[in-house]
């Protein structure tokens, strides 16, 4: 079995409820995972939007959430998680702040990728990394990964 990632609030390819966006409470949705490889030492999670600013003419991938050193004893994050498990660390999103920034597309229906990585190490020496910094640190250490894609359009 391979690593799985899911939410009780939306299905893969389904609509993200507005409470998890800038139009609602702007809090992270509940996420759960299972089937970690046996030699997993930590997990990392990246949430991004490859459709920014316009899905018909994307110009960049917008980073919403960077999380790493999630302990293997964790099987997910609760809704609106204010405190993350164990020694979990957060990085910088594209609003230049740490933590979660929910979907807030300026135009059209965007795809939001929640990407979970099982790593064979706990990452050290990272202080509020960007997505790029985290991806570099993970190179050569990814045992498995899973994706959950949610959709959101303002005014739905």
Domain boundaries, the chain: 4-152
- Tell me the CATH number for domain 4-152: 3.90.280.10
Distance CA(13)–CA(106), nearest Å, equals 20
Q: What is each CA distance from 5 to 34, 44, 96, 125, in whole angstroms?
A: 7, 12, 26, 27
Contacts of 34 (CB under 8 A, 6+ apart): 3, 4, 75
> Is the Cβ–Cβ distance between 114 and 94 less than 8 Å?
no
Supply the pTM of this predicted model: 0.96
Provide the pLDDT for residue 156: 62
Provide the pLDDT for residue 88: 96
| Backbone dihedral angles phi then psi of residue 5, each to the nearest 5 degrees | -140, 130
Q: What is the pLDDT along the chain (156 residues), one digit of tens a residue?
A: 799 999 999 999 999 999 999 999 999 999 999 999 999 999 999 999 999 999 999 999 999 999 999 999 999 999 998 889 999 999 999 999 999 999 999 999 999 999 999 999 999 999 999 999 999 999 999 999 999 999 999 986
Distance CA(10)–CA(47), nearest Å, equals 15
């Amino acid at each position: 079995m391979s690593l799985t990632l899911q939410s009780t609030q939306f299905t893969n390819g389904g609509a993200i409820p507005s409470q998890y966006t800038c139009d609602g409470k702007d809090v992270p949705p509940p996420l759960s995972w299972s089937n970690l490889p046996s030699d997993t030492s930590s997990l990392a999670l990246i949430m991004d939007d490859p459709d920014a600013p316009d899905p018909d003419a994307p110009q960049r991938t917008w980073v919403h959430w960077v999380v790493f050193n999630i302990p293997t004893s964790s099987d997910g994050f609760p809704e609106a998680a204010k405190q993350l498990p164990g020694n979990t660390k957060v990085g910088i999103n594209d609003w230049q702040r740490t933590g979660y920034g929910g979907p807030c597309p300026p135009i059209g229906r965007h795809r939001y990728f929640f990407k979970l990585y099982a790593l064979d190490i706990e990452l050290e020496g990272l202080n509020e990394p960007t997505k790029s910094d985290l991806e570099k640190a993970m190179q050569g250490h990814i045992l498995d990964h899973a994706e959950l894609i949610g959709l959101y359009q303002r005014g739905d």
